[in-house]
Amino acid sequence: MKPARDYRRILAAFVCSALAAIAGIFLPLIIHGVRNLPWEFAFGFAYYVTGFFRGSELGERLDGFIGGIVWPLAIIVIVWFAASRLCTAGTVARLAWSSFFVLSLAICVPAETANSLAARIPLFLNESSVRY
């Protein structure tokens, strides 16, 4: 593969992972009253899993570390890797997955709706606010 293509692939993967992180973690802080459900759920799912271990002392200590640091970094790396691999895929696969990614970024709801759904699904902002 040519070096110029490698740079474009790395840049595209970085942009995708940055957009996912912005949509899932920072969007409610940047634009008050707007929440992205798919990415907030993806980033907040670790808080749901660590909730099963909150009864033990170790679970409470690892709750913020896993849910707030390790899991979001893992999601960012997974999105980066998937976007990087997608750059080498065929045209139809690139178009389909890119459309799916853009659609997932476009699914935004008002904060009131997200807060009412947060009782049933783990959203990153709600879960991190409850924990800290």
pLDDT score of 84 more than 70: yes
CA distances (Å), 74 to each of 6, 43, 106, in order?
Answer: 22, 9, 22
The pLDDT score that the predictor gives to residue 89 is: 87
Residue burial 37-67, b: 16+ Cβ < 10 Å; e: rest: bbbbbbbbbbbeebbeeeeeeeeeeebeebb
The pLDDT score that the predictor gives to residue 59 is: 66
Q: Please indicate whether residue 67 or residue 20 has the higher confidence score (pLDDT).
A: 20
Give the domain ranges of the chain: 13-131
CA quadruple 12, 16, 19, 21: dihedral positive or negative?
negative
pLDDT score of 51 more than 90: no
The pLDDT score that the predictor gives to residue 3 is: 63
pTM: 0.84
The pLDDT score that the predictor gives to residue 99 is: 94
CA quadruple 120, 124, 125, 128: dihedral positive or negative?
positive
In angstroms, how far is CA 18 from the centroid of its own chain? 9
